[in-house]
Structure 1
């Protein structure tokens, strides 16, 4: 893999992370407008289908293997449930914690879960054992999360309440 290719992948990962607070903030407003966060979760997932289907058709992707679908372990289908969990919790918590607070705390959870997934090689991932430098890096990231969440000055609206 060339350095340029590697840098491109890193930038795409940053973009993937950058869209999350936008998605969460927009969906939080949608949830308020629709009357409940779960309606916004459903709307978000339906829009995902409407956006994704034309892309699948345009790329002329073959249909998935029916044999795989019938034999796949149940845990492989849990991703959608995790998506619903994340979207719904983002809709509920982002207005209360703020965008930076919610994303920082969500990142802390992602760091901890990622270290466990890597360490044990779960779900077919390559094992990457938890070493002292990896643990120190994770703790430094989580310390940054704590600073982001708890160093924010309260807004005037909250101070007056």
Structure 2
């Protein structure tokens, strides 16, 4: 992999992470407006379909193999359930914890779960053993999460307006 290509992939990963707090904040407002967080979860997923289908049609993405669909293990279909879990929890927790608090805590959960997934090579991932430097890196990230959350008291003007 060329250095330029590698940097591009890293930047795309940063962008993928950067859109999550925007999505969560927008969906939290939508949930309040619609009267329940689960309505906002459904709306978010429906908009996702409406955005994705034209892109897939324009790219002429071929239909998946019926043979694969019929033989795929059930765990391969769980991604959608995890998406509903994340979106719904973000809708409920982001207004209470703030964007930085929620995202920091979500990141801590992602880092810990990622270390476990890598260590065991679950779901077809390349196995990457847990090592002292990886654990220390995770602890530093989690320490940062604690600092972000402990210093995240809302301003008095905003608290009075709520």
TM-score bracket, normalised by the shorter chain, equals over 0.9
TM-score by length of 1: 0.97
1:55-134 equivalence runs, <5 A: 55-134=55-134
- Counterparts of 1:57 and 1:159 in 2: how far apart (Å)? 49
How far residue 151 of structure 1 moved from its aligned partner, in angstroms, is: 1.5
Q: Aligned residues, how many?
A: 161
SS in 1 for 2:127: coil
- Counterparts of 1:50 and 1:160 in 2: how far apart (Å)? 36
How far residue 160 of structure 1 moved from its aligned partner, in angstroms, is: 9.4
- Counterparts of 2:142 and 2:160 in 1: how far apart (Å)? 27
How far residue 159 of structure 1 moved from its aligned partner, in angstroms, is: 7.4
- Counterparts of 1:64 and 1:96 in 2: how far apart (Å)? 41
Given the superposition, is the C-alpha separation of residues 48 and 160 from structure 1 closer, same or farther in structure 2, using an over 3 Å criterion? closer
- Counterparts of 1:80 and 1:160 in 2: how far apart (Å)? 37
- Counterparts of 1:90 and 1:119 in 2: how far apart (Å)? 27
How far residue 100 of structure 1 moved from its aligned partner, in angstroms, is: 0.2
- Counterparts of 1:105 and 1:8 in 2: how far apart (Å)? 27
- Give unpaired runs (5+ residues) of structure 2: none
